[in-house]
Structure 1
Amino acid sequence: MQLEIRPYRSEDLNALYEICMLTADGGKDATSLFDDKQLAGHFYSAPYGIFEADACMVVTLDNQVCGYVVGAKNSTEFAKVLEAKWLPELRERFPMPSGEVATLPQKIIRHIHCGYQPRPEFSEYPAHLHINLLPSLQGLGVGKKIMQAFIANLQRLNVSGVHLEVSSDNHGAIGFYKKLGFVQIAEFEHSLGFGLTLSLQGTTE
């Protein structure tokens, strides 16, 4: 078994789509819930690989991509890029659902129409991230290693801070991020916001 953590490459794009779908249902395989198997990745993974490739990391198991951390160096600028170059076409392809938005695909389509909107609470932490690992990698300490590689890369890119949101009842993830040095900076209706200040000298504070 050979594990490698490396920078994202353009040929990894299909893997971003596949892994996003295989983990979209609260970390579980959501394939059966979607007619379009790329819908989740259209919002949560692919645009990062396309527009923020230098900020993304992947982990491979025997040369197959099995996990990733994708993110944007500046969330406000990323939102502008999505509005200009990514979301308009998706909005034409996926009409806004009428009536109650109940299913996971409907919720993602709603996100596409609402757009990515950075929260003001995160203004001091300009970057943000999403991490997804297939079950084959879980329990091997890979999550910590790829997050550390992602954070170190942000520092090389002169990013001053990074934030994320996690479900309020996902205690395992909350503990994981705290061990990495993230601190809680906001509380929302169903989620918590965490931030990490980055030192441009190559160490986290």
Structure 2
Amino acid sequence: MFSAREALQRLRDGNRRFVSSLGNHEAPHKPSRPVELVQEQNPLAIVLGCSDARVPAEIVFDQGLGDLFVIRVAGNIVAPSQVGSVEFAASRFGTRLVVVLGHTQCGAILATIEELQRPAESQSRNLRSIVDRVRPSVEGLLKTELRSDVNALVRHAIRANVSASVNHLRYGSEVLEQLIRNDGLLVVGAEYSLETGRVEFFDGVE
């Protein structure tokens, strides 16, 4: 079992490998190992990320089969099912690192900003449930000078949304709170750059 810090270093190293391989179309793919994973899995990290097709965690962190327990949902929001999934993996597999992975140009953030500025009457209840969970991270920013700079507003809103999800996991689950307090579970935020391929860790990373 990896400690939280060991797992974090593995992800950082993997992301560096991924960034260095960009543009190298002959870079080999990791070999699969499905047979040895039939009976068990020991993921080194739990990643709660966005469903955006451009941000596959295993590729971004250069990890293989069985290395990551990945939960994906638009806007990397935290709802009961996501909390339960994190609790399951942390308790069942002993995984000690949880990464909430946001990304630049996040469509869920953009949709929330648009909804707050121009409410859409035709928006479905299901889509609105995502927007409503992102909304608290954006509303406060719209009351600042950032409202006049859309690009800066989006950048700050993405970080604020990741931080909100991190805090929800840290303080919204008795199971996770106990694992943090007694067993070294670490919950951190991160942002993947669509432009460069780099992942920047923050919110709990020294």
TM-score, scaled to structure 1: 0.31
Mark the structure with the bigger radius of gyration.
2
TM-score, scaled to structure 2: 0.30
Higher relative contact order (Cα pairs below 8 Å, separated by 6+ residues): 2
> Which structure is higher in strand share?
1
